[in-house]
Structure 1
Amino acid sequence: MVFLGNTGTMGVPFETVLAAAQSNAPWASATLWREYAPSVVGFARGRGSRDPEDLASEVFLTVFGTLSTFIGTESEFRSYLFSIAYRRLVDELRQRSRRGESVQWEPENDLRSEPSAEVVSDLRSSDESVLALFDILPVDQRNVMVLRIVSDLTIEQIAEVLDKSPGAVKSLQKRALDALRKKVSTKPYPFRPMERLPV
């Protein structure tokens, strides 16, 4: 992978950025943050973190604190990064389940009221509705799908993050996709009449 360097030119290889970050070069640490933080935030949001940006900050504090001991390729760095993100998320979810949650009431989040047709239509087409589909999946399948789709990790990287074999990850992904296909095929599609229009 090639990054933008501190001069704003293309062509800085990952190994160079990593070595500079391990030597505490601010530009290199900032480059790693810009490159990977959005994926970590997306993963945390997709798995239900209450504050995905805060979780990503905690992950990078840990990464930068231990970076001097890391040896590996860009792919191995992604696995390392998401292993830390996964552990932080598990910690957050455990704390919330122990403490229970108190959420401030907001009318738009009140499940007792029926949303308008416009709101339903907007939800169906939003990223949140896609992520909400993952909520029907068991936890292992949900983890695999969020890491695969939101964080764009390979099967091998996901296997490392979740401490599973690549075969187990493939099996979880297949079961998740089968479950999602069944769920989506039974939901009414808001634009179905348009399918009958001539091309």
Structure 2
Amino acid sequence: MITEANGATPSSDTREPALIALALAGDREAFGQLYAEHHPAVLAFVYRRVRNRQVAEDITGETFLNAWSKIHTFTYRGVGFVGWLITIARNKVIDHCKSSQRREFGVADMLGFDEDPTVSTEEVVLLSLDEDEVREALTRLIPAQRDVITWRFLRQRSVAETAQAMNRSEGAIKTLQSRAMTSLRDRLGVAA
């Protein structure tokens, strides 16, 4: 089983570490289950950056192909498998933008709408910070706070889905998330 330096499991979801261990051993079915679990989050991440469904699907596919070919390099560092996938996806998006001969402008770009209105302030802050800083700050949170941030922002789950996964009420998740974000901002030195 994959564990953190302090011996704790990486999240309250015990199924994912087992799937990761099987995938690391070359089990394609286990990787397929990880794909099914994380594909929506990776696709959403990529789509928000490229704003083209077909390009987003292509980059997401490349991300998972790259992940499978490099699965042996995965190590748990505090944000889990989806964080690793998002890192690969981010690099693929950067490569795509650099290699594009021309930039296509959509109507939203011409009107000056650069951000997806559904992206929360918390997501903007987390995505703009250095990944290593965020990982380090996450390790200093209490486990429940770390889990709620992982579920809500790294796995991009709803409050209801997070509540179900963590066996808590939606109200408790909202409170825990608020406290977790305050703690994370304090540890990162980010103004509210």
TM-score normalised over the length of structure 1: 0.48
Q: Which has more radius of gyration?
A: 1
